[in-house]
Amino acid sequence: MTKSAVLLNDTSYANHHGCRTVIDNLTHLMGCINVKIIGCSPVGHEWRDDQSILNKIKKADLIIINGEGTLHSGREEAERLLQAAVLFPEKRVILLNALYENNPPEWKKYLEKFDIIGLRDPISYETCSALVGKAKCHLTSDLSLYSASDFVEAPDKRQGIAIGDSVKKNIHRDLYSLYLKNKSENVYYLPIKSLNKYPLGVDLGFAKSISQVRYRLKQTLKMYLDRNVVYYNSHNDFYEGLHGYEGYITGRFHGVCLSIKSMTPFVAVSSNTGKIERLLKSVGLEGRVLNKVDQTAFKKIKPYTDEEKNKIRTFIRESNDQWRRFITDAFQLERPL
């Protein structure tokens, strides 16, 4: 029997290959269990004032909230998402793929209304478990790390160092400056942003469609003027492209996720929360976070040791198992996924 769901905090609208990987994996998993997503509220959208989304929620069997990196620092946007569990008590409401950091203790009143909660790192899991109990909380990895296959292997040959971007403007600027100082046939600029401002295959309307075309032309011109600047059309293309570099310098959490998943050696700069450090501790790859962006970053990109490769394989396998268990429990499947 097919069930219907509405997805809140659809981060595929964030122009970010990591976020689009998350939503693509979520859509894949929903297809595996016959859950049809009948409506999506984009990241940052005020869904409570959107009658179209509210109407779809009324029709849906489930509400799925993609927590991702939104639920931190007591942000208003975060509280709006959590309020869904209070506003629709008659629905099964699932929070998944969530970081939970530095939020007011009184938000317990929201968390306890969820039917099940999936946290993407051990600290978030312990924090929420202390508030609402471990029976309601499940530990998973970030959904970008999910793979239909447990097998992770590096290609035989890699070439060049790619430098990425950051959500923090000062780090973003420093990373781009590092690229400009070192660009050559072996140093590339590879931001995690897409050639497409908005996801493909959705109805954007006239204004956003024009914006999509303009943005794509702008990024294409950048690549034409500087052949070492690389933008990919899709998250799958980005992943395959990243797979071919010797190393990646990134200030993005999902840049780290996809580096791990593709067995690409990397160093990272801290993001806007402790999410990168938490991930690396979970995998067992501590020591790959930069204190600052400078020339030493290149020397700090070390090939994975055999021990590190085994840690990554184990982490990906366990990550996949965590997600299968969570989906089985969250959607009350009669048989394990």
8 A C-beta contact, residue 179 and residue 163: yes
pLDDT band at 93 (very low <50, low <70, confident <90, very high): very high
Average pLDDT value for residue range 113-122:
97
pLDDT in tens, 131-158: 999 999 999 999 999 986 655 666 667 8
pLDDT in tens, 263-280: 999 999 988 788 999 999
CATH number of 3-148+317-330: 3.40.50.12500, 3.40.190.10, 3.40.640.10, 3.40.50.2300? 3.40.50.2300
What is the distance between the alpha carbons of residues 280 and 291, in angstroms, rounded to a whole number?
A: 15
What is the distance between the alpha carbons of residues 132 and 43, in angstroms, rounded to a whole number?
A: 26
What dotted CATH number matches 161-303? 3.40.50.2000
8 A C-beta contact, residue 308 and residue 264: no
What is the reported pLDDT for 285? 95
**pLDDT, the chain, mean:** 93
Average pLDDT value for residue range 88-117:
97
Average pLDDT value for residue range 161-187:
95
Average pLDDT value for residue range 168-182:
96
Residue 138 CB partners (closer than 8 Å, separation 6+): 116, 117, 118, 119, 125, 322, 325, 326, 329, 330
Please report, as a single letter, which amino acid is at residue 302.
K
Average pLDDT value for residue range 22-29:
95
Average pLDDT value for residue range 285-303:
94
Q: Considering the chain, tell me which residue range(s) the CATH 3.40.50.2000 domain(s) occupy.
A: 161-303
| pLDDT tops 90 at residue 203 | no
